[in-house]
Structure 1
């Protein structure tokens, strides 16, 4: 209690990872289109994320291994293990490479909302130097390879995001009774089903489960630290969920408008609530972009390390090569405005399959006495986990059907 910051762990990185530009955009659209009506979906998402992340963190702390390492060790040798590890590699490594350009572009949009567009024109050739700046910051932090440094940086970024979006929400002076009702009472306005699925899907993120299990044993080495790890997870996920809810609240002030993204939200709020609203949204979006631009390559490197049994530690050659490739690809895609549609579609399908598979495997692992002993799941946790598994099956099916244009 004398030094509460000492007990802050990888939860800050997990919260920062799921509040990416995609989350900010989805929450913006949810608020604009449906007001406070879908806040309950975020409440559900927070509960589901707490349960899954706590399970992942518990497995990581008790075994002192990353989730991909545990999978390799626990799954019987054969086609099933190869399929699951191959799916994990495809969804996380290739998927994060495809999404990295969007993460960096989100940070760029945040900076652009603050002023200059950051574009350098050289004849017929143009490049966005904001992308290079964000890429350079991410490169330096990842290359340092020091968990404590990452932890402190991400704590600052989460605080920046929190303050930015909370202040913006307060500026819009929301109806507190309507806000509370929307947060606790489920409702399904016309045309809202896909948005509800998107809100849950943008919060329950497969790569965060792998990232958390790998990072928790960087912070804690003893099973007696499990309560501290659990508190860290609960506080961080709830804080991250509240930040997302604040974006919905802020966007609700423009209910029914034609705004299609976070930068449009920033520009539209300025005439109503002053320049503070635009700067808050811009800073929040920048923080969301840069943190996701760091955690996506980091998670991919951990997954590749565990699945392929490549070197140990943040400073190993193969670990660094993995995140460097993903970061460089992301910077290139963002700087030149390239959108690899086919790769992104492949990643969405792979993630759509991976989410329910990993949720099911987490439940299986969390009930293995030989793996976790007395730290295995209770009956209550299993009941909640099975409900979440059903939700992830729906989410995964929706993602796959959406890619093929069937919904």
Structure 2
């Protein structure tokens, strides 16, 4: 029974690995430090929304045996609308992930640096930190092998490591279980918390995961009879990812309000209160979060580019490899020299803000097309949940764009 369960673990853990990156860790840290357990309900809402959308993406991939960007290219008939959609997807996912990759690698490096310091090498007049190159090498080897099963096992192992690390950290802090449950079930809006609430939802419901999930689901499963495995895989993995995020909030809630801006500060803050072990576990979790996102971000970008441009979406395809290699190399270089690509990241945030409601809307539309899915279209209840989530994504998209231009 257990053997069969592990055999049918699919892309779900990879999706969880993708949305729990250093940005999520930092945001959950700030949510815990500033608001205690009060915003845990926002993560519960995020998990439910993510399960609904990711299940649709996985079902689309398995039934159609196509990636989401490929379906978009085929189903949008207007050349102008198709061109705009492809341009937006390439901008938001490919360019955006290249910008975010430096953050993923830097986040993973931060976890290692908290424990072992920050060794540097000097080349000419430039200083380069070593750890980003090590993380980049691990990501490169994992992707270059080009074997889905190897990649899957690597990421599942890292997700388990990350989950255990953050769960252990939360347990060490001895949280008030009753207050934790209350925070999960009773929505509260503390003063100045609205942007953090929106951020917690936005960092969990991410557009590139929809592309990643559809592409990986068709790689893992080719038969419609596997849909039940895909559904269980999605639900378990996304809930696990949500629990990891909650554990970070719980851990951060345990320390007195002080000058904490990221997970590295949290690790240092936990040490005097709960011993050096808390710092170790948190740092390991941050490392795992960074390296998993450093692998999945280039992978998602390669799948999107392949679908948009009509290339073969094969892990060993030269064009496919060129995309993820470019993103990974840029991420390593920018991370190692401490380059802050603020304008690129702002552009990516605007593009993602536009893309999320568009992709959620398109996904909902295509999930009701019998020409694509036959008898596997959405049920009424799935459509109701989908429409509610679409409204949320529009709200998130508008907020993201306004915040970039400092209008809120």
TM score, norm. by length of structure 2: 0.98
SS in 1 for 2:387: helix
Report the equivalent of 2:175.
174
Report the equivalent of 2:31.
30
CA distance in 1, matches of 2:313, 2:13: 23
CA distance in 2, matches of 1:82, 1:255: 52
2:257 aligned with 1:259, yes or no? Answer: no
Report the equivalent of 1:298.
299
Deviation at 1:255, TM superposition (A): 4.5
Deviation at 1:125, TM superposition (A): 2.8
**CA displacement, residues 165-212 of structure 1 (integer Å, 9 cap, x when unaligned):** 000000110000000000011000000000000000000011000000
Deviation at 1:311, TM superposition (A): 2.9
CA contact (8 A) 1:107 1:290 kept: yes
Report the equivalent of 2:130.
129
TM score, norm. by length of structure 1: 0.99
Alignment of structure 1 residues 274-313 onto 2, 5 Å: 274-313=275-314
Report the equivalent of 1:58.
59
Taking only aligned residues, the RMSD between alpha carbons, in angstroms, comes to 1.0
Alignment of structure 1 residues 226-241 onto 2, 5 Å: 226-241=227-242
CA distance in 2, matches of 1:164, 1:121: 34
Report the equivalent of 2:70.
69
Deviation at 1:118, TM superposition (A): 2.6
Deviation at 1:246, TM superposition (A): 0.2
CA contact (8 A) 1:168 1:250 kept: yes
Report the equivalent of 2:381.
380
CA contact (8 A) 1:34 1:255 kept: no
Deviation at 1:85, TM superposition (A): 1.3
SS in 2 for 1:126: strand
CA distance in 1, matches of 2:336, 2:208: 24
CA distance in 2, matches of 1:24, 1:342: 22
Deviation at 1:7, TM superposition (A): 1.1
Q: Which runs of 4+ in 1 moved over 4 A?
A: 121-124
CA distance in 2, matches of 1:160, 1:119: 27
Deviation at 1:121, TM superposition (A): 4.5
**CA displacement, residues 125-149 of structure 1 (integer Å, 9 cap, x when unaligned):** 3111101001111111111111000
SS in 1 for 2:128: strand
Structure 1 gaps of 5+ residues are none
* Matched residues, number: 407
CA distance in 1, matches of 2:155, 2:297: 13
Deviation at 1:258, TM superposition (A): 1.6
SS in 2 for 1:53: helix
Alignment of structure 1 residues 124-163 onto 2, 5 Å: 124-163=125-164
SS in 1 for 2:118: coil
Alignment of structure 1 residues 74-153 onto 2, 5 Å: 74-121=75-122, 124-153=125-154
Deviation at 1:113, TM superposition (A): 1.3
Structure 2 gaps of 5+ residues are none
Q: For structure 1, which segment, 214-223 or 112-121, has the greater mean C-alpha deviation from structure 2 after superposition?
A: 112-121
Deviation at 1:342, TM superposition (A): 1.1
Report the equivalent of 1:354.
355
- Go from structure 1 to structure 2 and tell me whether the alpha carbon gap of 1:255 and 1:197 turns closer, same or farther (over 3 Å shift): farther
SS in 1 for 2:121: strand
Deviation at 1:122, TM superposition (A): 5.9
CA distance in 1, matches of 2:372, 2:130: 48
CA contact (8 A) 2:118 2:130 kept: no
2:15 aligned with 1:19, yes or no? Answer: no
CA distance in 1, matches of 2:301, 2:316: 15
CA distance in 2, matches of 1:261, 1:342: 21
2:197 aligned with 1:199, yes or no? Answer: no
CA contact (8 A) 1:95 1:344 kept: yes
CA contact (8 A) 2:46 2:205 kept: yes
CA distance in 2, matches of 1:170, 1:358: 38
2:8 aligned with 1:7, yes or no? Answer: yes
CA distance in 2, matches of 1:64, 1:301: 17
